[in-house]
Amino acid sequence: MPPPMIATMPTAADLAPLIPELVLVGAAFALLMLDMFLDEGRRIVTHAAAVATLVGVALLVLAGVGGQGTVLGGMFVRDVAADVLKVAILVTAALSMLYLWPFLRQRGLYRGEVAVLVLFATLGMMLLVSAGSLVMIYLGLEMLALCSYALVAIDRDSPLASESGIKYFVLGSLASGLLLYGMSLVYGATGSLDLQVIAQAADGGTGQGMLLLTGVVFMLAGVAFKFGGAPFHMWLPDVYTGAPTPVTLFVGSAPKLASFGMAYRLFEVGAGGLDDRWRLLFAIIAVASLAIGNLAAMVQGNFKRMLAYSTVSHVGFLFIGIAGGGAQGFAAAMFYAMSYALMAVAAFGTIVVLSSRGFEADRIDDYRGLNARSPWMAGLVLCVMASLAGLPPFLGFWAKLAVLRAALEGGMLWLALVGVVFAVVGAFYYLRVVKAMYFDEPDPSTVPGTASRPLRLVFGVNALSLLALGLAWNPLMAWCQRAFME
């Protein structure tokens, strides 16, 4: 009789691929303790340290510190795809933090836990994109979700923010329940929580086929809920509108990258053998998202609500890339997710920069005559709107072109045609903002924004990067393609 296996504790060398996550969690706890000893006037220390931490961890990932590999019994996988997504998530989170500080401080809403919540949410996203097991996916997702709920309701005196927080919590819990139920069905069909074992069952048909497929459908519904894809988008407009604008900026950008990572791990890595089924489901949700998102955005007068519904349409384009399938489809979808994260930060950053205390700049009419008051600012907003609309040579154009090409290569000509039609439709409501800035008379009651020079500089770099990356998009696309090379 063979001797029983003795479990051994992992050594420091075994945990080397986890170094970026360990640094981030250590810094989060350190800042939590530091904030206890800082008064209200010195909270900038906590915030600056959080931004420096995010940038530092991004550099660690970019430099490959710790190396790639699989740890924790296969639960954590660090590969090229995970590293690319982590760098994008960390950079997006750091950029979001630069918008958070002046807005919340000006309104007396900044608390020390804001920076800590952002760090823990970022940690959840990093775990999510490196998940090798259903357990790690759920752990990362819930860490992200719980921090996001608290951030959305950070303005406890605002009924609108509190209502948004409750809606986000209730509907987010429903999405988590759908995902968890799907995972339980997959476990019942395959007898394992490991994505590699699930992949073998899906490829070889060794699991219970109908039970496995049902689990995949429930997981897809949960993923679509987290993305905000139609018809699971009902939480998104209210949450985006009710949350403080820089919180919306964070919630609407970096988590989309994490959701893409979750979709890749669950469907391509775990259920790749069933891609003929889930690709069609992604295509159907993409069409619904494009139709509902674009048509609803066209009739909105509130700028934040318009951007919320436009997010639904952008999720549709991202799903077109996933529906294309294969390495090219996921590379295109990753490129779209990274491009949209940068565009979303700039779009909601527009509101942050142009708002002031008592004036939120969240109506399209608030942008009437902006060119007459500030031609430079109007030009930056034009760059953002043009990129979101997918006009060449901005970054958004190449992102849309990449996913449409992926759909064609995946044998879905009809889906690519639908995408082209709604790309044209979607340009309408972005051009409404441009028309208001350049062709409408200024509203005398409009109070111009009082953003500080550093914040205006951040927004300027953010907006112009959409043009710069549009002119030099090949390296970014090549980076995404390299993440899915065999």
Question: How far is the C-alpha of 36 from the C-alpha of 112, rounded, in Å?
Answer: 8
Instruction: Write out pLDDT tens, residues 86-108.
Output: 999 999 999 999 999 888 888 88
Handedness of CA 82, 88, 94, 99 (dihedral sign): negative
Phi and psi (nearest 5°) for 194?
-80, 130
Tell me what pLDDT residue 452 has. 80
Instruction: Write out pLDDT tens, residues 284-299.
Output: 999 999 999 999 999 9
- In this structure, of 297-301, 407-411, 443-447, 456-460, the range with the lowest mean pLDDT score is 443-447
Strand partners, 363: 302
Residues 6+ apart with CB under 8 A from 95: 345, 458, 462
Place of tokens 């992992």: 10
Is residue 204 within 8 Å of residue 190, measured between CB atoms? no
Burial class (CB in 10 A: 0-12, 13-18, 19+), 389: buried
Question: How far is the C-alpha of 300 from the C-alpha of 310, rounded, in Å?
Answer: 10
Rounded mean pLDDT, 136-148: 94
Give a three-class secondary structure readout of the chain: CCCCCCCCCCCCCCCHHHHHHHHHHHHHHHHHHHHCCCCHHHHHHHHHHHHHHHHHHHHHHHHCCCCCEEEHHHCEEECHHHHHHHHHHHHHHHHHHHHHHHHHHHCCCCCCHHHHHHHHHHHHHHHHHCECEHHHHHHHHHHHHHHHHHHHCCCCCCHHHHHHHHHHHHHHHHHHHHHHHHHHHHHHHHCCCEHHHHHHHHHHCCCCHHHHHHHHHHHHHHHHHHHCCCCCCCCHHHHHHHCCHHHHHHHCCHHHHHHHHHHHHHHHHHCHHHHHHHHHHHHHHHHHHHHHHHHHHCCCCEHHHHHHHHHHHHHHHHHHHHHHCHHHHHHHHHHHHHHHHHHHHHHHHHHHHHCECCECCCEHHHHCCHHHHCHHHHHHHHHHHHHHHCCCCCHHHHHHHHHHHHHHHCCCHHHHHHHHHHHHHHHHHHHHHHHHHHHCCCCCCCCCCCCCHHHHHHHHHHHHHHHHHHHCCHHHHHHHHHHCCC
Rounded mean pLDDT, 261-289: 93
Instruction: Write out pLDDT tens, residues 321-354.
Output: 999 988 999 999 999 999 999 999 999 999 999 8
Instruction: Write out pLDDT tens, residues 30-68.
Output: 999 988 887 777 888 888 999 999 999 999 999 999 888
In the predicted model, what is the mean pLDDT of the chain?
90
Instruction: Write out pLDDT tens, residues 78-87.
Output: 999 999 999 9
Burial class (CB in 10 A: 0-12, 13-18, 19+), 156: exposed
Tell me the residue type at 31: L
Instruction: Write out pLDDT tens, residues 461-475.
Output: 999 999 999 999 999
Strand partners, 194: 133
Question: How far is the C-alpha of 139 from the C-alpha of 150, rounded, in Å?
Answer: 17
Question: How far is the C-alpha of 244 from the C-alpha of 246, rounded, in Å?
Answer: 6
Tell me what pLDDT residue 450 has. 65
Tell me what pLDDT residue 281 has. 94
Q: Which residue has the higher pLDDT, 112 or 279?
A: 279
Is residue 146 within 8 Å of residue 117, measured between CB atoms? no
Cis status of the peptide bond prior to 393, with omega within 30 of 0: yes
pTM of the model: 0.94
pLDDT at 205 over 70: no
Compute CA distances 262 → 82, 124, 226, 391, 426, whole Å: 10, 11, 10, 29, 27
Question: How far is the C-alpha of 177 from the C-alpha of 390, rounded, in Å?
Answer: 35
Rounded mean pLDDT, 133-162: 92
Q: Which residue has the higher pLDDT, 178 or 38?
A: 178
Is residue 212 within 8 Å of residue 201, measured between CB atoms? yes
Instruction: Write out pLDDT tens, residues 104-125.
Output: 888 888 887 899 999 999 999 9
pLDDT at 7 over 60: no
Question: How far is the C-alpha of 203 from the C-alpha of 269, rounded, in Å?
Answer: 11
Rounded mean pLDDT, 132-161: 92
Is residue 479 within 8 Å of residue 86, measured between CB atoms? no
Question: How far is the C-alpha of 380 from the C-alpha of 108, rounded, in Å?
Answer: 28
pLDDT > 70 fraction of the chain, expressed in percent and rounded: 94
Question: How far is the C-alpha of 155 from the C-alpha of 107, rounded, in Å?
Answer: 10
Categorize the per-residue pLDDT at 206 as very low, low, confident or very high, splitting at 50, 70 and 90.
Answer: low
Total Cβ atoms within 10 A of residue 108: 11
pLDDT at 183 over 90: yes
| Phi-psi group of 423: left, alpha or beta (phi > 0 → left; psi -120 to 50 → alpha; rest → beta) | alpha
pLDDT at 246 over 80: yes
Question: How far is the C-alpha of 31 from the C-alpha of 22, rounded, in Å?
Answer: 14
